[in-house]
Copies of this chain bind each other. A is one copy, B any other.
Amino acid sequence: MTPPDDPNRVLIFDTTLRDGEQSPGISLNTQEKLEIAQQLGRLGVDVIEAGFPITSPGDFEAVQAIARTVQGPIIAGLARTHVGDIDAAYNAVKDAERPRIHTFISTSDIHIKYQLQSTREDVKGQARAAVAHAKQYLDDVEFSPMDATRADLEYTAEVCQIAIDEGATTINIPDTVGYTMPHEYTEFLTRLYAAVPDLRDIVLSVHCHDDLGLAVANSFAGLQAGARQVECAVNGIGERAGNASLEEIIMLLHTRQADVGLFTGANTREIARTSRMVSRLTGYVVQPNKAIVGRNAFAHESGIHQDGVLKERTTYEIMDATTVGLDANSIVLGKHSGRHALAQALAELGFELQGQALNTAFKRFKEIADKKKQVTALDLEALVTDELRQEIAGYTLEWFDVEASTRRPPHATVGVRGPDGEELVGSFTGDGPVDAIFHAINAATKVDARLREFRVDAVTGGQDALGETSVVLEFGGVTGAGQGVSTDILEAGARAYVRALSNAVRRHGLLAEQEAAAGADVPEVVRTP
């Protein structure tokens, strides 16, 4: 794309659904990716990198669904320099209002030699051909020299010049392994600008990983050197230690705008909700001391600090919690609240439910309201997200009974509805009640899944808090993740397990199909940069 009219406007390029989604244990289905993309639209990001379409039919389908549905942001698809990658990326994003193809190849000698087993000359040729091919389809083409910060600068400059000559409208300089330091990155980009004067006419982008805890600082150093696009992810998820945190970048520029002069188009009040949604759907917990979106980011514990804030807020607060949307917990419903009040509360939260979906949500709300005195906005968000999760070709938990005691082994019996509507029943005596339920589900479904991760969080405080459970399991070489919400931790666990099992079984089936469809240029599940 051409640079924005205002030279101080910074573009937020969100890669939660691409680099973020390739974190271990995360496996979002199309419906979940769509939900996140729509929320990113509400947050006002400029670009959504929706996936890497060549890697699997599921990835292609999700990118296409986002391109066809989400209004506002540019929708980008990632592609290696291969023709097949670029064709797949184009086909996935072409129906977007504003589609983008993002193509990449490494310019560091270590990657060229060991990973690509190629030569510098060949990489130049691939970069040239890829950008040219993408430009045949559309105008908005981004090019990344992968591992640039460990590459020879002059050579990287040559490759960038080639990409620009072929029509690339954004050049992104990834710190792929999270190795660089702010002053080094500044120097690299400054020298790159000097070597490639044409960079001034397009958008320079930064993409930093957090292996040494410097992703945000490096991205900021990049902006100070002239970059105007930041690639980042919600909650800082991504490969290894993840990407620069979207929320930290946005709030850094927002809080220090008077001194730095740069700004984004983000609606900061959507930050907290976006963070919660991504954490919930990926099963990736946000640590309490995480900047901006951690539970304690705005909490003051010490007497001195509390005393100071009471006397004058700015003594210890540089940001107002309401700016990031942390005051949204004001909606409170109870057991006497009606369907209309629920619909209104949900609309305030950005969920427009009607007809059958509203009926289902209302039924679930009533069940919870019977057990919990107050149902807050956070509870509603968790419940509705839970309900919106599509059960695709999967199993559904019907009921269970458990007896647990410190004095004898726990025993569980479960009833599960199968894909064809049949009721399946299984029993197991395990080491703990959760173990017994999970094994009983295996027995009922005759799927020999193995638990890899299990986590429980409380959605809101209090003795009657909703429990939110996250399960990752493995079956036949694929992993599946699932979440469940309930005031009963065992029920939440059982729901999460059944969903994770459904996801794993579905992915296992897709994989088998994919392997059966021989001959296509479908690579060894590839991702990056």
Chain A interface (Cβ < 8 Å from any Cβ of B): 22-25, 55, 110-111, 113-115, 117, 147, 176-179, 181-184, 210-214, 216-218, 220-221, 224, 235-242, 245, 248-249, 251-252, 255-256, 259-260, 284-292, 294, 296-305, 307-308, 311-312, 314-319, 371-372, 397-407, 410, 431-435, 438-439, 450-458, 461-465, 467, 486-491, 493, 523-528
- Residues of chain B within 8 A of A183, CB atoms compared: 224
Assess the B241–A303 pair: CB atoms within 8 A. Answer: no
CA distance A491 to B403 in the complex (A): 13
- Residues of chain B within 8 A of A178, CB atoms compared: 291, 318
Query: Closest Cβ of chain B: how far from A278's Cβ, in Å?
Result: 11
Given the known interface contacts A212-B251, A284-B289, the answer about A433 and B241 at a Cβ–Cβ threshold of 8 Å is no
**Among candidates B221, B302, B318, B488, residue contacting A431 with C-beta atoms closer than 8 Å:** B488
Query: How many copies of the chain does the oligomer comprise?
Result: 2
- Residues of chain B within 8 A of A400, CB atoms compared: 404-406
CA distance A81 to B404 in the complex (A): 56
CA distance A182 to B490 in the complex (A): 47
Query: Closest Cβ of chain B: how far from A516's Cβ, in Å?
Result: 19
CA distance A464 to B240 in the complex (A): 26
- Residues of chain B within 8 A of A184, CB atoms compared: 259
- Residues of chain B within 8 A of A439, CB atoms compared: 463
Assess the B407–A405 pair: CB atoms within 8 A. Answer: no
- Residues of chain B within 8 A of A114, CB atoms compared: 308, 311-312, 315
- Residues of chain B within 8 A of A493, CB atoms compared: 489
Assess the B179–A182 pair: CB atoms within 8 A. Answer: no
CA distance A432 to B367 in the complex (A): 13
- Residues of chain B within 8 A of A255, CB atoms compared: 179, 212
Assess the B240–A299 pair: CB atoms within 8 A. Answer: yes
- Residues of chain B within 8 A of A110, CB atoms compared: 312, 314-315
Given the known interface contacts A432-B487, A439-B463, A526-B302, the answer about A248 and B212 at a Cβ–Cβ threshold of 8 Å is yes
